[in-house]
Amino acid sequence: MSERVIPLVDQRLQALPAHLPHPPVLATGTLADRLARPLHDLRISVTDRCNFRCSYCMPKEVFNRDYPYLPQSELLTFEEITRLAHVFTRHGVRKLRITGGEPLLRKHLPVLVSQLAALRTLEGEPLDLTLTTNGSLLARQAQALREAGLQRVTISLDGLDDAVFRRMNDVDFPVSDVLEGIAAAQAAGLGQDAQGHWRHLKINMVVKRDTNLNQVVPMAQYFRGKGLSLRFIEYMDVGATNGWCLDEVVPSQELLAMLQAVHPLVALPPSAPGETAQRWGWADAHGRHDPALGEIGFISSVTQAFCHECNRARLSTEGKLYLCLFASQGYDLKTLLRQTNPPVTDAQLASAIGHIWQGREDRYSALRAQMPPASRTAGKRIEMSYIGG
């Protein structure tokens, strides 16, 4: 078993200044980075706290009762988050994902959802507004979130066997409560498309070879016929505390073969530019995809990197902008946001963000295979629980 790597320096404290460039970068809706990748997707972390202690994200031996979570005074207010989200839309952002930590731990979250739901793209269209959650608190909040304007939700679920699930979340949380949350999301209409199917309600499963590989087929069989999207995620080397080992990664191609041996699948096209998951649909008796049966997705960051079309930025809960899930440093937007003498305008914020994105060339996953094994796990990368998946 590999040893945990405990970070000696809190990477949350390491930040680069966000400058106001001259000449300014204008917000035209067509911002691109150094690899010609546009900015279309903003992931917004609203808390660095979580009530689970999954080993691949927030191992208990690191994130214990003594761990120094960010104080409330450091977190962006809902108004500050909404202002920044609005500025990002001026650069072409069309999708907002609320994440954490566990975002449902943030008090009064429907208030933020309602503020974000009121934003519009440059063309005047509503934004694609979604949320990622472990599902533990969803049963009691799903209806309020939907009424506030949330359109869809992604729920993490790493197995159906209760013993396996309790072991993976490491807080003895029962799988039945997450399934209740999924049912509540459907009852609220979260993730239902215009045809009445549930493909926008997504279930994410991180697969580790020696931990929950035996849950892959049961998960597929359970959700087949429910119309939603079940996605399998390769175990990634995010952060510096999850003890990542390449031997624990199950390639998506191996999972695809396992599932096709049980039920036939049909390849589906990407649903949007920069789609992270390779989509497959359950086939009917005629070999055609039946949306009522649902979909399977594979997120293969380790074996089939998709850096070349990554269009996502990440905003931490206390206002740092990160350009990659595997980044080690962010850019401090909060200082600009809270500057009062003189106050920074939206146009200036947009210019600072545009300048940062134009310098982006991050592509860690694409370069991972070329790295010496030691350098993959050594590192000072930011934790996924801090900037969201």
Tens of pLDDT, residues 297-327: 999 988 888 899 999 999 999 999 999 988 8
Q: What angle do CA 183, 187, 190 make, to 5 degrees?
A: 90
Inform me whether the pLDDT recorded for 267 exceeds 60.
yes
Residue 379 is predicted with a pLDDT of: 55
Burial (CB count <10 Å: 0-12, 13-18, 19+), residue 285: exposed
Report whether 57 contacts 301 (CB < 8 A): no
H/E element, 258 = helix 252-260
Q: Give percent above pLDDT 70 in the chain.
A: 93
Residue 1 is predicted with a pLDDT of: 38
What domains lie within the chain, and their CATH numbers?
A: 11-387 (3.20.20.70)
Tens-digit pLDDT profile for residues 53-92? 998 889 898 899 999 999 999 999 999 999 999 999 999 9
Q: Using the 8-state DSSP alphabet, how is residue 271 labeled?
A: S
